[in-house]
């Protein structure tokens, strides 16, 4: 039958929400058990194959919709959510600037100008320097990250996880991709130590199960620096 695995009540609810059997089954396989939640995820432009990135960022469907309504792309929303930011409207001049590939025309604040000047003097490309400066980074804190071309939003998440700029760059991944790969393998506060030591999530989980501690992994991390 088309609705195999669904009770009569579940079938009625998913059908009433406008889902065909295949789509309903796909959402349930992705961990979305409520048709109401599936509709919200769909409103946020998520699909069953991609919703896991939002979920692993700790976002609710309603939060995803708000990010979408405020003009923030899915990857950027997940990254910013992980960094502790919550949905807020992006001013329309900033949206236009983003679409046009330029920065807002207003002159930067003194702190922003200072950060921009320091990064440019450190031979950071102008587009990277502007991204860090306009995001409110201090020039000194940003320099190591910007010189390695780590996206400024990713840098905030990596830094919160305990990665150095060099370690983050060596992963070759975005912060969201690292979080997705390590989800459930080790505690969040240990991700940087195990990852920077050169272990895969599966290897780290196996080492922890065998009694190896994060402190011991930190020794390998230091040798890998």
Please report the DSSP string for 114-144 in residue order: HHHHHHHHTT--HHHHHHHHHTT--HHHHHH
> pLDDT exceeding 90 applies to what percent of the chain?
38
Write out pLDDT tens, residues 76-121: 787 777 777 777 655 544 444 444 444 444 445 677 888 888 888 8
Return the minimum-mean-pLDDT range out of 3-7, 51-55, 81-85, 185-189.
81-85
What whole-number distance in Å separates Cα of residue 126 and Cα of residue 138?
16
Confidence of residue 54 (pLDDT cuts 50, 70, 90): confident
SS3 of 85, please?
coil
CB neighbours of 61 closer than 8 A, spacing ≥ 6?
32, 37, 40, 41, 44
Q: Any long-range contacts for 27-33 (C-beta under 8 Å, 24+ apart)?
A: 27/51, 31/55, 32/61
Task: Count the residues in the chain.
Answer: 225
| Residue 97: both structure tokens together | 């600037």
* CA atoms within 13 A of residue 207's CA, in its CB half-sphere: 21
- Rounded to 5 degrees, φ, ψ at 91 are -55, 145
In whole angstroms, what separates CA 155 from the centre of its chain? 10
Q: What is the CA radius of gyration of the chain?
A: 21
Greatest mean pLDDT among 64-68, 87-91, 105-109, 176-180 lies in 176-180
Q: Where are the alpha helices (DSSP H) in 122-224?
A: 126-134, 139-147, 152-161, 165-171, 175-182, 191-196, 201-209, 214-224
* CA atoms within 13 A of residue 194's CA, in its CB half-sphere: 25
The pLDDT of residue 11 is above 60: yes
């Amino acid at each position: 039958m088309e609705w195999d695995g669904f009770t009569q009540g579940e079938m009625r609810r998913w059908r009433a929400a406008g889902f065909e059997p295949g789509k309903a089954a796909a959402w349930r396989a992705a961990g979305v058990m409520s048709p109401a939640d599936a509709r919200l995820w769909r409103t946020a432009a998520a699909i069953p194959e991609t919703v896991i990135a939002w979920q692993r960022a700790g976002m609710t469907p309603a939060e995803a919709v708000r990010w979408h309504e405020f003009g923030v792309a899915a990857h950027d929303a997940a990254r910013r959510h992980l960094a502790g930011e919550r949905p807020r409207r992006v001013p329309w001049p900033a949206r236009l600037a983003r679409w046009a590939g330029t920065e807002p025309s207003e002159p930067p604040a003194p702190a922003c100008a200072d950060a921009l000047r320091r990064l440019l003097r450190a031979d950071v490309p102008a587009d990277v320097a502007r991204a860090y400066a306009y995001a409110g980074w201090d020039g000194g804190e940003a320099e190591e990250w910007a010189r390695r071309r780590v996206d400024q939003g990713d840098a905030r998440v990596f830094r919160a996880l305990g990665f150095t700029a060099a370690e983050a760059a060596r992963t070759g991944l975005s912060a969201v991709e690292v979080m997705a790969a390590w989800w459930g393998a080790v505690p969040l506060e240990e991700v940087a130590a195990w990852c920077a030591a050169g272990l895969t999530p599966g290897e780290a989980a196996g080492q922890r199960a065998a009694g190896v501690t994060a402190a011991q992994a930190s020794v390998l991390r230091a040798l890998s620096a």
